[in-house]
Amino acid sequence: MKLVIAVIFFLGALIQAGIGPRPALGEETRNIVFLTWKPNQPEIWQRLIKGFEARHPGIRVQVQVGPHSSTDYHAILTQRLKNRDPSVDVFFMDVIWPPEFASAGWALDLSTRFPPVQQEAFLRGPVTACTHGGKIYGVPCYVAAGLLYHRKDLLEKYRLGPPGSWGEMLEQGSTIRRGEGASGLHIYSAQFKQYEGLVCNMLEFIRSNGGSVLDPESGRGLLADSAVHEAIAFVRDQIVGKASPQGVVNYEEPESLDLFLQGKAVFHRNWPYAWDVANDPERSRVAGRVGVGPLPAFPGKRPASTLGGWQFGISRWSRHQEDAWRFVRFMTSEGAQKILAVEASLAPARRKIYEDPEAIGKKPHLKTLLPALETARPRPLSPVYPMISQELQRFFSQAIVKKGYDYPGMAAKASKRIEKLYRMGASIKP
């Protein structure tokens, strides 16, 4: 019965979006290549692609799948674009890549195909991330933002509500740990290994304390500012080895999520995809006992989730740009977005899906996600962001592990290096 309902829903969404089957037109078949990273739900993506081909019988989509790792996929994609490989037509871009791809001349300018009137249907954050030099180079597919997952059953047992501040989160966690008498129960699980996820996590602490790592107007590095130092000291002194296990400095998303799934953490920071995993009885010991909402902030400040997500780009070297655009338009249509939201549990980039009664009925947490997604902030926008990120990763990793070091001196040196990189990126014209 569940399979029948799923099939009916899928076909209904295709018909509603006007992307159902069409009779063959007798035209010559044209192939376009979609280069993507390895998805978590390949069968859903394949069904959408088949729906596109049914709508456009003269076009066939060849999917080339790269590594699941964003870093590894980036290396493969950029190498092919650097070589002006005409076989790549459409590609996925991480939210941090559009300025780099635009400045390098790899991504096609989509300003005439995706004008402001169409951009308004999408969440503002990912549209901004796709924009560089006043032009737009990508169309958002799905969005991500840092969220706070919590043990709903434990908070209710101790008559607590979701914490509004980081300090309140620690207090609640301590209360629950004492009450449960569970020495193996940790307060918080997140991602503090030296990789891109560390930058996302640390920006959320820093920005939720009113700080910033970089002034985009002047290009000045701000790592030595007191708000930044206070946030980093909080992570080093209150989170690592205390609220979280000492090994959290080696955690990426899978390791940190596993701790939560095993019932060994009260609170957990992750992206929207973790909702389905946490509520899957076959994978999670806490299924059905999980809540989710915005991240906390420091007193008097506002939460500041880091923006994540993926966008479609079209290669400047593609020989089938119009067909590629038809594919991008289809994959970001309301019908496709609804399917990705309901069946793949991905946070859609189109605002309307968060108001769709059927989508909310199947995924009630969509309403909870929207406030965090609407206010999520991008990482520093620069054509050389990967180099800036490397500097931030090294700095943050040392800052939360080392104790008794010269923080002002280390922060000043890192800020100077970041300033130099940012100026270099600003000199690159799209």
| pLDDT one-digit tens code per residue, 77-107 | 999 999 999 999 999 999 999 999 999 999 9
Structure confidence by residue, pLDDT tens digits, 153-183? 999 999 999 999 999 999 999 999 999 997 7
CB neighbours of residue 5 within 10 Å: 9
Q: Do 191 and 125 belong together in one domain?
A: no
Q: Which pLDDT score, from 0 to 100, does residue 220 have?
A: 96
Q: Do 163 and 273 belong together in one domain?
A: yes
* Number of domains, the chain: 2
| Mean per-residue pLDDT, 18-22 | 43
Question: Is position 421 within any domain?
Answer: no
Q: Do 191 and 320 belong together in one domain?
A: no
Question: Is position 346 within any domain?
Answer: yes
CATH of the domain at 106: 3.40.190.10
What residue numbers bound the domain in which 77 lies?
Answer: 2-144+307-375
Q: What is the pTM assigned to this prediction?
A: 0.86
Q: Which pLDDT score, from 0 to 100, does residue 72 have?
A: 87
Q: Do 119 and 165 belong together in one domain?
A: no
pLDDT of 25 > 70? The answer is no
Structure confidence by residue, pLDDT tens digits, 284-308? 999 999 999 999 999 999 999 999 9
- The answer to whether 35 and 88 are in contact (CB under 8 A) is yes
Give the mean pLDDT of the chain.
91
Distances (CA, A) of 156 to 148, 170, 187: 16, 16, 16
In the DSSP assignment, the letter for residue 221 is B
In the DSSP assignment, the letter for residue 418 is H
Return all residues near 28 (Cβ < 8 A) that are at least 6 apart.
58
- The answer to whether 158 and 238 are in contact (CB under 8 A) is no
Question: Is position 334 within any domain?
Answer: yes
Instruction: Find, among 333, 327, 321, the residue nearest to 53 by Cα.
Output: 327
Helix axes 334-343, 42-55, angle to 10 degrees: 160
Q: pLDDT category, 27, cuts 50, 70, 90?
A: low
Question: Is position 239 within any domain?
Answer: yes
CB neighbours of residue 83 within 10 Å: 10
- Give the CA angle between residues 200, 206, 208 to the nearest 5°: 100
Q: Do 67 and 191 belong together in one domain?
A: no
Q: For the chain, give me the number of helices (H) and strands (E)?
A: 18, 12
